[in-house]
Amino acid sequence: MNFDPYFVRPRQKIDLRNWEPDDTHAWKGSDKAVTELADLTAKLESLQEQLYCESKHRLLVVLQGMDTSGKDGVIRKVFEGVNPQGVRVASFKVPTPIELAHDYLWRVHSQTPGKGEMVIFNRSHYEDVLAVRVHNLVPENVWKKRYNQINEFERLLVEEGTTVLKFYLHISRDEQKERLLERIETPEKNWKFNPGDLEERKLWPEYMAAYEDVLNRTSTEWAPWYLVPADKKWFRNVLISSVIVETLKGFDMKYPTPEEDLAPYAARLRAGE
């Protein structure tokens, strides 16, 4: 699919009120999208295998969004079928005392992908200019410096060979209400409900302002954001999957070829060795 409309250009001014969370672009319904996702899933599977075998590129996928925006759903659905050997999820929760004793990027840097690896960040260093800002966990003059620090940190990753893709899952406050109710009213989903989510929900406008600053200040040539309308799960999935598949295709990967002729080994095995 054409995901260009959802690419946040560097220095583009984003006003989230102008971005419809239930936008589905040219797609009228989910049927075709579901077929397309199945096709993308198969492609992702083989591209990820090549990523792993080639052991040359590194891919970092950052997922950010409000509670219930679908970060876990993306991990489940978009990465269905990939080989767990080459893929890792890193979830960033409220920092531990040890993490808090360090700079905020310390816990993040150690989780970045190695060669051949794909790492998905479920939340990320962006919490340090989101939750931290909204809850006044550090003074303004401290979090304000972080946009530049984050851009420079990501520049380092990219210059050293990592590809960074960042997705902001944009849901409406109404859709969040439905999803929270579902978590409360479906026994199998109760475990996902956290009473604290209601406190976070009260801070919706503050979070939207903080997300706008993130999108406006940290979508760079080297590590761009995609603004993903996320009220419709099928649209969210197909959009993210398309971006990842296209990015991996761009690596122009090949299965490694052996440095020597392997035929003699086959001959030896057949001869009884």
Compare residues 53 and 138 and give the one whose CB is closer to ligand AMP.
138
User: Cα separations (Å) of 179 from 57, 186, 210, 233?
Assistant: 37, 10, 22, 12
User: In the bound complex, what is the minimum distance in angstroms from residue 112's beta carbon to Mg ion?
Assistant: 23
**Residues 210, 134 contacting (CB under 8 angstroms):** yes
Spell out a b/e string for 117-144, using b for 16 or more CB atoms within 10 Å of the CB, else e. bbbbbbbbbbbbbbbbbbeeeeeeeebe
Quote the least distance from Cβ 94 to Mg ion, whole Å. Answer: 11
Site string for Mg ion, 55-74 (x = CB under 5 A): ------------x-------
Residue 121 CB, nearest approach to ligand AMP (Å): 11
**3 state SS of 91:** strand
Contact 123, 63 (CB under 8 A): yes
Q: Minimal distance in Å, beta carbon 104 to ligand AMP?
A: 6
Out of ligand AMP, Mg ion, none, what residue 34 binds, judged by CB under 5 to 8 A for its kind, is none
**Closest approach of Mg ion to the CB of residue 197, in Å:** 6
Contact between residue 228 and residue 6 where contact means Cβ atoms under 8 Å apart: yes
Q: 34 or 198: whose CB is closer to Mg ion?
A: 198
CA distance 74 to 9: 23
Contact partner, 128, from ligand AMP, Mg ion, none, Cβ < 5-8 Å per class: ligand AMP
Residues contacting residue 53 through CB under 8 Å, at least 6 positions apart: 116, 255, 256
CB closer to ligand AMP, 195 vs 264: 195
Residue 128 lies near Mg ion (rule: CB under 5 A) = no
214 contacts which partner out of ligand AMP, Mg ion, none, CB within 5 to 8 A by kind? none
Binding site for ligand AMP (CB under 6 A): 67, 92-95, 123, 127-128, 131-132
Local structure of residue 79 (DSSP, 8 states):
T
Query: Where do contacts with Mg ion occur on this chain (CB under 5 A)?
Result: 67
